[in-house]
């Protein structure tokens, strides 16, 4: 019961924060609403007893990524941008499309809800904690994807340097 | 070697290891050994050595499979699968990377952007392609796709001082990220339905559900949108003309051939793997996308004056033909897909290489007018371009005809007569706009007198793609045997 209430609270944070982030005119406000959204996601992770993801979500996304976004916003002059119209003229049509697609997805998911075979959340009693379990899986079964992700990050670093540096 | 990294795993992974290793080494050597800009073309030699090691790994895998009479070799608990399919596509990637690398140095010098990172990114992109063709696990496939895409976002924007190139990279990045998001959404539903990321388990779980299950349809639709974007099939093609036009021409050639072939390998792995049981639900969707691609690609190409944009629309229409082979779905159709992807890669690469040679210090050389009188000034290039155009239009005795023949034959064998007629009608439309290029080369008055920027690399690469385009058309047997070996069993 408590967890259901908490889940809906976090869901409200995620969705409300996302909508407000997109619609705010002031970029700093938008970034702060992003923080609310990410906090909601962190809460959902905690509800699923994934405390490692919870910590990572707060430390990396809120503490790292959004902070950097805020720095950039403060450095770049956004007054001119703030005066631009926020939405394209066809936003009503786009909203209608989004609502239709959203309704379809909700309907389909509800109609087949019982089919999802989610593994039960791992608790500390069974395997000594979900963080340990995550580490085990990451370095055994998912060793290869883990290594591919490291090359992916290398390409991202090289790419950003190539794009940003004047003389290379 | 441990339980999680056995010697079989190592054996299967060698080509990707070599690509990643040489990719990183190129980045290091760029400033350690070849600091002077003039020495950078030695990096190409280094890249070719890397490709030789990669090819040796592939060769050992191929001879292992054939000497033990195996159909496939799986590694990392079913995460990677080496089979005829993976080998066929990986050989194609090796060839395409080498050909793109050897034509690049003069072009990049003219554009004043000759950096070592370019060659490193080609190798790392190919490493991603390896996982797209070899992966049989949703996470590995997705990471391979992203590795390839991320390298291409950078390479498309490699002409950093040109607005056109920046805009192309930006557009490709934003739309690519969005489509990847949809793809992952579909993958997450796959995982939710099966509780596993292995393609085999997902296939079993989906097959156990009743046909037309809404959840499967939703997952299929999300995955299909993501993948159709990557192969630039209509109606998800909007990025292609802009990205192709803005990118450096050498990268356009790689994007239109390597990236597209890898995306089709990815598409086949998903649609013939987990989604095979849902064929009745995805068939109408893919038929729609294929016919729309044929229509939009061919009709929009008619009015283009920029050859790169024209070839972009032509590549959209070719994606439609390849999808038709998958829709037919019998053995002829699936061999046809492999044949068409390879043949398409050779002829499109050739056509873009001629444009690379046309880029000179003071001339961009991308408009149809820039080709005027090419027969008079450089007959060799004009004749090669004629061969590529004939092949793209699908006229015998070129390779393009063999590809179209297989696709149409498969459609007729499986009773898709209407689709066969539509496909044949658009061949006629295509002849019109390919021959606008031919007419400019052979009939129009010569305007530009500056000699072409031809280098040894361009000559070799053009010779290879020309010989393959004409050779496969005249004597297709060995090539067809290779393609037949590539069926997913």
For A17-52, how does the pLDDT look when each residue is reduced to its tens digit (9 = 90+)?
Answer: 999 998 888 888 889 999 999 999 999 998 888 888
For the segment B60-118, what is each residue's pLDDT rounded down to a tens digit? 999 999 999 888 899 988 899 999 999 999 999 999 999 999 999 888 888 888 888 99
* For chain A, percent of residues with pLDDT exceeding 70: 85
Angle at A97 between CA A114 and CA A40, to 5 degrees: 55
The sign of the dihedral angle between the CA atoms of B103, B107, B109, B111 is negative
pLDDT at residue number B158: 92
- Residue B116 phi/psi, 5-degree rounding, is -65, -30
* Banded pLDDT at A81 (limits 50, 70, 90): low
Residues 6+ apart with CB under 8 A from B379: none
Q: In B, which residues are within 8 Å of A112 by CB distance?
A: 213-215
Q: Between the CA of residue A89 and those of A27, A82, A86, A120, what are the distances in Å? A: 21, 17, 10, 46
pLDDT at residue number B105: 87
| Alpha carbons B240 and B304: distance in angstroms, whole number | 14
Task: Assess if residue B295 is contained within a domain.
Answer: yes
Q: Is B113 helix (H, G, I), strand (E, B) or coil?
A: coil
Of the listed ranges B55-59, B221-225, B281-285, B445-449, the one predicted with least confidence? B445-449
B76 touches chain A (CB under 8 A): yes
* Banded pLDDT at A119 (limits 50, 70, 90): low
Q: Is A165 helix (H, G, I), strand (E, B) or coil?
A: coil
Query: Which candidate in A120, A144, A157 is best for mutational testing of the B interface (most B CBs within 10 A)?
Result: A144
* Banded pLDDT at B11 (limits 50, 70, 90): very high
* Banded pLDDT at A108 (limits 50, 70, 90): confident
Q: Is B157 helix (H, G, I), strand (E, B) or coil?
A: coil
Mean pLDDT of B287-315: 94
State whether A152 and B137 contact (CB < 8 Å).
no
Q: Is B304 helix (H, G, I), strand (E, B) or coil?
A: coil
| Alpha carbons B352 and B300: distance in angstroms, whole number | 19
State whether B193 and A108 contact (CB < 8 Å).
no
For the segment B189-198, what is each residue's pLDDT rounded down to a tens digit? 898 888 889 9
pLDDT at B465 over 90: yes
CA B322 to chain centre: 12
pLDDT at B237 over 70: yes
H-helix or E-strand spanning residue B297: helix B279-302
| Alpha carbons B325 and B318: distance in angstroms, whole number | 11
pLDDT at B25 over 80: yes
B469 touches chain A (CB under 8 A): no
Angle at B227 between CA B222 and CA B229, to 5 degrees: 100
A111 touches chain B (CB under 8 A): yes
State whether A163 and B195 contact (CB < 8 Å).
no
pLDDT at B347 over 90: yes
H-helix or E-strand spanning residue A126: helix A124-127
Task: Assess if residue B430 is contained within a domain.
Answer: yes
Task: Assess if residue B87 is contained within a domain.
Answer: no
Q: Between the CA of residue B352 and those of B65, B74, B97, B356, what are the distances in Å? A: 36, 37, 14, 6
Here the ipTM equals: 0.90
Task: Assess if residue B309 is contained within a domain.
Answer: yes
Q: Are B222 and B158 in contact (CB under 8 A)?
A: no
Task: Assess if residue B379 is contained within a domain.
Answer: yes
Point out the residue among B80, B117, B217 whose CB comes nearest to the CB of A168.
Answer: B117
Q: Are B427 and B404 in contact (CB under 8 A)?
A: yes
pLDDT at residue number B30: 85
pLDDT at residue number A125: 52
Query: Which candidate in B192, B209, B216, B217 is best for mutational testing of the A interface (most A CBs within 10 A)?
Result: B192
A110 touches chain B (CB under 8 A): no
* Banded pLDDT at B36 (limits 50, 70, 90): confident
State whether A117 and B140 contact (CB < 8 Å).
no
Q: In A, which residues are within 8 Å of B205 by CB distance?
A: 117
| Alpha carbons B225 and B74: distance in angstroms, whole number | 29
- Residue B131 phi/psi, 5-degree rounding, is -70, -30
Mean pLDDT of B256-282: 92
More confident: A24 or B45: B45
The total number of structural domains that make up chain B: 1
* Banded pLDDT at B484 (limits 50, 70, 90): confident
Task: Assess if residue B181 is contained within a domain.
Answer: no
Total residues found in chain B within this entry: 489
A142 touches chain B (CB under 8 A): yes
Q: Show the DSSP H helices in B33-137 as ranges.
A: 42-68, 84-111, 117-134
Mean pLDDT of A59-63: 90
The sign of the dihedral angle between the CA atoms of B169, B171, B172, B174 is positive
Full domain range(s) for residue B436:
277-489
pLDDT at residue number A59: 92
Point out the residue among A108, A119, A140 whose CB comes nearest to the CB of B214.
Answer: A108
| Alpha carbons B467 and B489: distance in angstroms, whole number | 31
pLDDT at residue number B378: 87
Q: Select from B194, B197, B191, B223 the least CA-distant residue to B208.
A: B194
Task: Assess if residue B291 is contained within a domain.
Answer: yes
pLDDT at residue number A113: 72
Burial class of residue B352, CB neighbours in 10 A (0-12, 13-18, 19+) = buried
More confident: B251 or B370: B251
For the segment B356-397, what is each residue's pLDDT rounded down to a tens digit? 988 887 777 788 888 888 888 888 999 999 999 999 999 988
Q: Is A38 helix (H, G, I), strand (E, B) or coil?
A: helix
* Banded pLDDT at B406 (limits 50, 70, 90): very high
CA B414 to chain centre: 27
* Banded pLDDT at A117 (limits 50, 70, 90): low
A116 touches chain B (CB under 8 A): yes
Please give the residue of chain A at the shortest CA–CA distance from B137. A145
* For chain B, percent of residues with pLDDT exceeding 70: 99
Point out the residue among A104, A115, A143 whose CB comes nearest to the CB of B193.
Answer: A115
pLDDT at residue number B431: 92
Q: Select from B145, B98, B150, B159 the least CA-distant residue to B121.
A: B150
Query: Which candidate in B189, B197, B199, B221 is best for mutational testing of the A interface (most A CBs within 10 A)?
Result: B189
pLDDT at residue number B208: 87
Q: Between the CA of residue B162 and those of B146, B168, B330, what are the distances in Å? A: 25, 10, 47
| Alpha carbons B359 and B394: distance in angstroms, whole number | 27
CB atoms within 10 A of CB A84: 7
| Alpha carbons A23 and A19: distance in angstroms, whole number | 6
More confident: B215 or B62: B62
Q: In A, which residues are within 8 Å of B193 by CB distance?
A: 115-117
Calculate how close chain A gets to B71, using CA atoms only, in Å.
Answer: 23
Please give the residue of chain A at the shortest CA–CA distance from B155. A159
pLDDT at residue number B156: 94
- Residue A85 phi/psi, 5-degree rounding, is -60, 140
CB atoms within 10 A of CB B297: 27
B119 touches chain A (CB under 8 A): no
* Banded pLDDT at A120 (limits 50, 70, 90): low
Task: Assess if residue B417 is contained within a domain.
Answer: yes
Please give the residue of chain A at the shortest CA–CA distance from B132. A148
pLDDT at residue number B409: 95
Please give the residue of chain A at the shortest CA–CA distance from B154. A159
pLDDT at residue number A86: 66
A138 touches chain B (CB under 8 A): no
DSSP state of B370: G
Query: What are B74's strand-pairing partners?
Result: B81
Residues 6+ apart with CB under 8 A from A165: none
pTM here is 0.93
Q: Select from B447, B449, B453 the least CA-distant residue to B369.
A: B447
């Amino acid at each position: 019961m408590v967890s259901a209430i908490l889940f809906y609270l976090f869901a409200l944070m995620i969705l409300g924060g996302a909508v407000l982030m997109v619609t705010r005119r002031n970029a700093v406000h938008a970034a702060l609403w992003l923080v609310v959204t990410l906090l909601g996601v962190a809460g959902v992770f905690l509800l699923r007893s994934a405390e490692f993801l919870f910590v990572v979500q707060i430390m990396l996304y809120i503490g790292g990524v959004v902070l950097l976004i805020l720095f950039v916003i403060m450095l770049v002059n956004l007054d001119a941008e703030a005066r631009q119209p926020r939405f394209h003229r066809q936003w009503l049509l786009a909203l209608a499309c989004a609502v239709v697609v959203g309704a379809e997805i909700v309907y389909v998911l509800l109609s087949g809800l019982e089919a999802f075979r989610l593994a039960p959340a791992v608790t500390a009693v069974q395997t000594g904690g979900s963080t340990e379990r995550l580490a085990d899986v990451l370095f055994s079964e998912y060793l290869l994807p883990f290594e591919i992700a490291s090359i992916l990050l290398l390409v991202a670093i090289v790419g950003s340097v190539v794009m940003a540096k004047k003389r290379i | 070697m441990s339980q999680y990294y056995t010697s079989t795993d190592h054996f299967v992974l060698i080509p990707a290891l070599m690509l990643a290793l040489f990719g990183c080494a190129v980045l290091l050597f760029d400033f350690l050994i070849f600091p002077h800009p003039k020495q950078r073309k030695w990096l190409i030699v280094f890249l070719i050595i890397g490709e030789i090691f990669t090819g040796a790994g592939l060769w050992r895998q191929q001879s292992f499979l054939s000497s033990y009479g195996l159909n496939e070799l799986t590694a990392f608990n079913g995460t990677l699968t080496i089979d005829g399919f993976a080998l066929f596509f990986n050989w194609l990637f090796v060839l395409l990377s080498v050909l793109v690398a050897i034509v690049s140095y003069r072009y990049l010098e003219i554009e004043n952007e000759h950096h070592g990172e370019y060659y490193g990114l080609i190798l790392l992109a190919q490493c991603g392609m390896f996982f797209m063709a070899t992966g049989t696990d949703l996470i590995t496939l997705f990471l391979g796709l992203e590795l390839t895409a991320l390298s291409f976002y950078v390479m498309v924007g490699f002409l950093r001082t040109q607005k056109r190139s920046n805009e192309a990279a930006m557009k490709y990045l934003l739309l690519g990220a969005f489509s990847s998001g949809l793809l992952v959404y579909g993958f997450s539903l796959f995982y939710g339905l099966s509780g596993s990321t292995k393609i085999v388990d997902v296939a079993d779980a989906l097959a156990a559900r009743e046909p037309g299950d809404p959840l499967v349809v939703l997952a299929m639709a999300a995955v299909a949108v993501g993948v159709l974007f990557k192969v630039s099939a209509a109606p998800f093609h909007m990025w292609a003309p802009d990205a192709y036009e803005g990118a450096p021409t050498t990268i356009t050639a790689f994007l239109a051939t390597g990236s597209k072939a890898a995306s089709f390998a990815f598409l086949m792995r998903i649609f013939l793997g987990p989604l095979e049981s849902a064929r009745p639900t995805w068939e109408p969707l893919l038929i729609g996308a294929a016919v729309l691609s044929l229509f939009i690609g061919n009709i929009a190409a008619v009015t283009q004056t920029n050859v790169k944009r024209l070839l972009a629309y032509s590549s959209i229409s070719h994606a439609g033909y390849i999808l038709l082979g998958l829709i037919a779905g019998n053995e002829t159709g699936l061999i046809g897909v492999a044949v068409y992807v390879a043949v398409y890669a050779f002829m499109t690469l050739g056509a873009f290489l001629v444009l690379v040679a046309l880029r000179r210090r003071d001339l961009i050389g991308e408009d149809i007018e820039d080709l005027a009188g090419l027969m008079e000034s450089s007959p060799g290039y004009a004749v090669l371009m004629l061969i590529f155009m004939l092949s793209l239009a699908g006229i015998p005795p070129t390779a393009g005809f063999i590809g179209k023949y297989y696709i149409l034959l498969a459609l007729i064998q499986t009773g898709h007569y209407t689709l066969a007629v539509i496909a044949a009608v658009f061949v006629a439309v295509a002849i019109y706009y390919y021959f606008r290029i031919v007419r400019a080369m052979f009939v129009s008055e010569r305007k530009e007198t500056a000699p072409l920027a031809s280098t040894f690399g361009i000559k070799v690469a053009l010779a290879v793609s020309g010989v393959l385009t004409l050779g496969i058309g005249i004597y297709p047997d060995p090539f067809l045997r290779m393609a037949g070996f590539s069926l997913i069993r």
